[in-house]
Amino acid sequence: MRVLMIGAGGVGDAAAKIAAERDFFELWVVADYSPERAEATVAAATARREGRGAGGATPFVAAQVDASDSAAVTALAREHRATHVFNAVDPRFVMPIFEGALAAGADYLDMAMSLSTPHPQRPYELPGTKLGDLQLARAGEWEAAGRLALLGIGVEPGLSDVFARYAADELFDEIDELGTRDGANLVVHDEEGNEVFAPGFSMWTIIEECLNPPVVWEAERAGDDVEAGFSTMAPFAEPEIFDFPDGIGPVECVHVEHEEVLLMPRWLDARRVTFKYGLGEQMIAMLRMLHELGLDSTDPVSVGGVEVSPRDVVAAVLPDPGTIGPRMTGRTCAGVLVTGTKDGAPRAVYLHHVADNEVTMRDYDAQAVVWQTAINPVVALELLATGVWSGSGVKGPEAFDARPFLELLAGDYGSPWGMEERDPSAPNRSPA
């Protein structure tokens, strides 16, 4: 396997460090718009690999690329004879990297899917262009080429979809709801020890996810047509208090647009699919204010004769998520609450994975949110390299057997996941 990873931000940097401990690949190219950033990631990954006593030439090399240029992606993939293009940049660049990989004859992985566009007349009832629609529409081309595009293989989407497949295969006979629930108790402090606002991942992406109309899927609405099952609602709808494990505790969660809802119904049987995120009052208030002020817009405006995107400005003035780890404390939890029946009896199970910032900083010099995202595509790449996972077309993680992934994650990668039985009559609460 020869991997071209595009993006040396927080997640890409963490992924390279994790991959440095494994031997399933021949080459790992780290490409970024900034050559300096790519070189820094290569140096860190190489040092880590040498520290574990790996012999031979380093498999990590740096390169420069413009992720918005599909031809440049194709040329770089061909130059390095990449078998897999791993997209580790934000979703604005999904389509050119996706198209560049196909043109190069390489397989493709990403952690976020092509962007959505709200319905022009009824945005809070009907979806317009949904997350991933542009990619899923190209499935025939990927199948004809014998190539695989694995979409949404981060943590959410990604590990959450693997959990859903595991539940469907091994824990339930019938599923009422696949409900992804994400929450954390992470706190960031400034140099004086004061708590400050600093998102754990890209503010550009947070704005995109949280202010777009959230999507839900319902089998009753779908009938025999999966596409008919999708509907939308207003941002931050249906708040609930969800009790997260490992000391995180109760967090208010609200509906957010997310890829799981667009992927799970295509491969798994459930009556309802949802995603709720524990944003917290401060984040919700800030997002509402950004929207009121028009600062969530991606349309350029003229400022002193210079064209700038308001959302790009907001993202630029906040700390880089890859740099806040030393000032962060707490844990983050990703998981799926599954409700349904087993052997005729009601059942509720929360499958989850928790990352502790103290541990991820100590072991990988990566803050918890980016590390938890980065480990999953590396596990998936190893399964693809060894042939445990295989296929062609455009697919989500739930299209593949979950057990090998979860065994490798908890085993060789040393990152255990958990499963809590919950009261089917009150599944949002942790067991006493």
Q: Do residues 219 and 285 both lie within one domain? A: yes
pLDDT score, position 68: 97
Q: How far is CA 41 from the centre of its chain?
A: 20
Residue 67 DSSP one-character state:
T
- Residue where one domain finishes, among candidates 109, 139, 174: 109
Q: Do residues 206 and 317 both lie within one domain? A: yes
Q: Do residues 58 and 199 both lie within one domain? A: no
Count of other CB atoms within 10 angstroms of residue 80: 19
Give the separation between CA 242 and CA 373, rounded to whole angstroms.
Answer: 21
User: Do 408 and 383 touch, CB atoms closer than 8 A?
Assistant: yes
Write b or e for each residue in 146-168: b if 16 or more Cβ atoms lie within 10 A of its Cβ, otherwise e: ebbbbbbbbbbbbbbbbbbbbbb
Residue 377 lies in a domain: no
pLDDT score, position 274: 98
- Residue where one domain finishes, among candidates 47, 74, 109: 109
Residue 334 lies in a domain: yes
Residue 399 lies in a domain: no
pLDDT score, position 51: 81
Q: Two tokens at 324? A: 């806040």
Give the separation between CA 311 and CA 287, rounded to whole angstroms.
Answer: 11
Beta strands in 173-300 (DSSP E): 174-184, 187-189, 195-196, 215-218, 230-232, 240-244, 249-255, 272-277
CATH number at residue 40: 3.40.50.720
Residue 392 lies in a domain: no
* Distance spanning both ends of the chain, measured CA to CA: 47
pLDDT score, position 193: 78
CATH number at residue 305: 3.30.360.10
Give the separation between CA 399 and CA 208, rounded to whole angstroms.
Answer: 26
Residue 203 lies in a domain: yes
Q: Do residues 172 and 288 both lie within one domain? A: yes
Among 186, 406, 158, which residue's Cα sits nearest to residue 275?
Answer: 158
Among 415, 418, 369, which residue's Cα sits nearest to residue 200?
Answer: 369
pLDDT score, position 196: 73
Residue 119 lies in a domain: no
Among 112, 148, 158, which residue's Cα sits nearest to residue 394?
Answer: 148
Give the separation between CA 310 and CA 333, rounded to whole angstroms.
Answer: 31
**Count of domains for the chain:** 2
Q: What is the CA radius of gyration of the chain?
A: 21
Q: Do residues 79 and 179 both lie within one domain? A: no
* Non-local CB neighbours of 90 within 8 Å, separated by 6+ positions: 112, 202, 204, 205
Give the separation between CA 200 and CA 325, rounded to whole angstroms.
Answer: 9
Residue-wise pLDDT tens for the chain (432 aa)? 999 999 999 999 999 999 999 999 999 999 999 999 999 999 999 999 988 776 667 899 999 999 999 999 999 999 999 999 999 999 999 999 999 999 999 999 999 999 999 999 999 999 999 999 999 999 999 999 999 999 999 999 999 999 999 999 999 999 999 999 999 998 888 777 777 777 766 787 888 878 899 999 999 999 999 999 999 999 999 999 999 999 999 999 999 999 999 999 999 999 999 999 998 777 888 888 888 899 888 889 998 888 989 988 888 887 777 677 788 899 999 999 999 999 999 999 999 999 999 999 999 999 999 999 999 999 999 999 999 999 999 999 999 999 999 999 999 999 999 999 999 999 888 776
* Domain span including residue 194: 159-372+416-422
CA distances for 216 relative to 117, 155, 396, angstroms: 16, 19, 17
pLDDT score, position 215: 97
Give the separation between CA 200 and CA 21, rounded to whole angstroms.
Answer: 25
pLDDT score, position 54: 67
Residue 24 lies in a domain: yes
Give the separation between CA 131 and CA 115, rounded to whole angstroms.
Answer: 5
Q: Is the pTM of the predicted complex or chain greater than 0.85?
A: yes
230-232 and 301-303 strand pairing: unpaired
